Structure 1
């Protein structure tokens, strides 16, 4: 711990912390210990139990450039309706450990299931945003008996990126992640919204905390490995196999593509078309509902919480 604060102090004196502000998670963070690939690891999570319960649980799965912090407006709204809310930082993100392992959606789903089992949660509604939508889909495919309902909020992976995004070897991905800055994170997050607003800045700060961690080289390696996971492990071909009642909440102004910077201008215009991708997913997931939010980008629950929550609670 001393080493970390000494490192931060040094950065402060050389001007490296001009953008650094630590963000506080909205609720108590707890830890679950388990073994993964013969390594002891800890999973950070929030677990909020309402004073008056409706007997149901919701699990929130975050996107790649986020962690549990960005659900800070969603959690209290769900708790107020009587839901128990479980919010893990997936292994490799946020306050969870970041081991050098083979990352897969199967593994992350299995780890989440172990966490739920430890808390005696046998059934839940699973809400996944962005990469969390890929994970939530895999979780629903692996553990259909556990998923009461499924909500996919602007999930990535509705197209198979490896079929049109040029391949990048892991060492090249690592070099890119290692060279990240606060400004590069902010520039990428700005693409999530039709119009940038300063109220979105805390989500950049939450992502950028890792830049000032002495273990950032290891974090950059994990960031590269999880990009590789998204690139190599599509779930789009299995949407027809999802059996849980499913809601798709799709911001229509979203044009997110993993690896978009590697595409030609002509290719960029053809990819990440969320209005079309949402309709495709709706057709392929039997009995699903589709809510299209006009003027909303990649993160409906941040940009337009009212419309997001209205759609969510109508479904729940």
Structure 2
């Protein structure tokens, strides 16, 4: 009988919700749109917030270090992933002495799904409000994918609050408006609603070049598609589509060279993710998503930055090459 490697089993256990032995035959109970029913690896707290007059609650994990070094790392998630996927990184950082704060941004994961539009400036203010609530004056930020765009806004708007910046396979290294024409929200809602679980799996494997075993991709699919049975699914879907429009309408590529904090890009060599590429004219699509090269070019323009490219990895670089990733992050944060 084929046995999975021990490391694979550990990661799967951290990422996967508990399922009974006969799960294949059992009907799925829908998750709530705040991922009720989907377990996180550490206790989840809720911070009340008001965005544009709407009362909301921001979910976050606050993980104490084993032997405190007096520093805090904030982990910022990507668009298609709940904050729970940071579980292996949380463990490594907390064992290295860091307090680790891991929010679900408003509109994502276990946080509220707002009626209004999402904006990076609002998410940045929310994140700083969380640090204020936790009485954290300055933190290191480690961000992934869309979280990288948010990290750029935080570093630019609140430079005194950020010590180090780690951008893990960030999107937003180019201005997608240069390639992709505007797409009406209603059209995107229609397309996203038609997406099937199997179609989403193919997206993760192709668009993101994810090199993980299928059982490690399944929790991400569950987190999204078990929500479709919720009575409030249309509100979740509108928030999710709003986040895509935010990525398109609010580029940060032009701000990245202005970042002065020590910055490390960690890129997967095979990650060519480019949001909106299917909507670009066919002739322009090959020009998009050269992310490793873009990161290297941007780092060269910055006063204190470098880019590391990990071969044979895709968009989920911290799960695909954990040993190398952890080594890079811990070494950088110690500088």
2:149: which partner in 1?
Answer: 134
Distance 1:56 1:50 in 2: 9
2:242: which partner in 1?
Answer: 225
Contact 1:69/1:206, CA 8 A, preserved across alignment: no
Aligned length: 303
Following TM superposition, by how much is the alpha carbon of 1:224 offset from its aligned partner in structure 2, in angstroms? 1.3
Provide the secondary structure at the position in 2 that maps to 1:112: helix
Instruction: Find the partner of 1:57 among 37, 60, 72.
Output: 72
Contact 2:30/2:229, CA 8 A, preserved across alignment: no
Provide the secondary structure at the position in 2 that maps to 1:53: coil
1:174: which partner in 2?
Answer: 189
Instruction: Find the partner of 2:224 among 204, 207, 214.
Output: 207
Following TM superposition, by how much is the alpha carbon of 1:196 offset from its aligned partner in structure 2, in angstroms? 4.8
1:47-90 per-residue CA deviation (whole Å, 9 max, x = no partner) reads: 00114200000000000101211101110110000100000000
Distance 1:112 1:235 in 2: 17
1:183: which partner in 2?
Answer: 198
Residues 51/310 of structure 1: CA separation in 2 closer, same or farther (3 Å cut) = closer
- For structure 1, the 5+ residue unaligned runs are 1-11
- For structure 2, the 5+ residue unaligned runs are 1-22
1:93-125 per-residue CA deviation (whole Å, 9 max, x = no partner) reads: 011000111311100000011011001011000
Provide the secondary structure at the position in 1 that maps to 2:73: strand
Provide the secondary structure at the position in 2 that maps to 1:73: helix
Distance 2:56 2:283 in 1: 44
Distance 2:237 2:229 in 1: 12
Distance 1:314 1:183 in 2: 39
Once superposed, what is the RMSD of the aligned Cα atoms? 2.0
Contact 1:54/1:82, CA 8 A, preserved across alignment: yes
1:36 aligns to 2:55 (yes or no)? no
Following TM superposition, by how much is the alpha carbon of 1:265 offset from its aligned partner in structure 2, in angstroms? 4.6
Provide the secondary structure at the position in 2 that maps to 1:102: coil
Provide the secondary structure at the position in 1 that maps to 2:284: helix
1:272: which partner in 2?
Answer: 289
1:101: which partner in 2?
Answer: 116
1:43-82 → structure 2 map (5 Å cutoff): 43-82=58-97
1:256 aligns to 2:273 (yes or no)? yes
1:87 aligns to 2:102 (yes or no)? yes
Provide the secondary structure at the position in 2 that maps to 1:166: coil
Distance 1:42 1:31 in 2: 6
Contact 1:29/1:44, CA 8 A, preserved across alignment: yes
Distance 1:25 1:51 in 2: 20
Instruction: Find the partner of 1:148 among 163, 168, 182.
Output: 163
1:303 aligns to 2:320 (yes or no)? yes
